[in-house]
Amino acid sequence: MFAITPRLRSLAAVALLAVGLSGCGYNTIPTLDEEAKGKWAEVQNQYQRRADLIPNLVSTVQGFAKQEKDVLTAVIEARSKATSINIDASQITDPEKIKQFQAAQSQLTGALGKLLAVTENYPDLKSNQNFLALQSQLEGTENRIAVARRDYINASQAYNIELRTFPGSLWASLFYKDAKPIAPFTATAENADKPPAVKF
């Protein structure tokens, strides 16, 4: 007959505990945390994509609109500031860092808006194939940025809800004491609740 030894009982208890913990939400907090960090990385990826397009856009506009030096300089300076503020995934719980990042990106968005508005005064530039391609890529990137921000907002919201609701709050208090709410993206531009006026 098969005898149950104390060691076998211990192994069975550990196996039962592992099975119980796997289905009870213990892994939900780190899973949601990693998902939010991944979404944040995608936000940064899309902002970097935009920053990479700007030098080509500025140089194309510069060839046609040399007298718009102030606008071009503002775009270059805003790009420099925006790319100098980097937030890695470990800093997404710091609302002040997120706010600084958003402010720099908003400043760059405003400078780009002014640059594109200035191009309206140059019919030759507006018909230049290189400019049209860059403008199209920039518009696509802005859409990607909006999607990436939305995904990050949803992921951070799911993580924050898990930290505040049962049983996630129980797991957080027992096993994830260093878990902090993630700072969401918020609108930083004035009148962000109103659509911009677009003129062609």
Nearest residue to 148 via CA among 42, 48, 49, 53: 42
Nearest-10 crossing angle of helices 69-84, 95-118: 160
Rounded Cα–Cα distance for residues 136 and 140 (Å) = 6
Considering the domain boundaries, does residue 11 fall inside one? no
Query: Could you tell me the pTM of the whole model?
Result: 0.80
Considering the domain boundaries, does residue 72 fall inside one? yes
Read off the pLDDT of residues 72-100 as tens digits, 9 standing for 90 and up. Answer: 999 999 999 999 999 999 999 999 999 99
In the chain, the number of structural domains is 1
Instruction: Supply the CATH number for residue 128's domain.
Output: 1.20.1440.20
At which residue do the structure tokens 């719980």 appear?
A: 93
Is a pLDDT exceeding 70 seen at residue 22?
no
Domain that holds residue 145: 27-174
Considering the domain boundaries, does residue 64 fall inside one? yes
- What mean pLDDT do residues 93-118 have? 94
Considering the domain boundaries, does residue 99 fall inside one? yes
Read off the pLDDT of residues 158-199 as tens digits, 9 standing for 90 and up. Answer: 999 999 999 999 999 999 999 999 998 887 655 555 544 434
Considering the domain boundaries, does residue 110 fall inside one? yes
Is a pLDDT exceeding 50 seen at residue 200?
no
Q: Residue 101 in contact with residue 184, Cβ under 8 Å?
A: no
Considering the domain boundaries, does residue 199 fall inside one? no
At which residue do the structure tokens 């808006």 appear?
A: 113
Considering the domain boundaries, does residue 66 fall inside one? yes
Considering the domain boundaries, does residue 117 fall inside one? yes
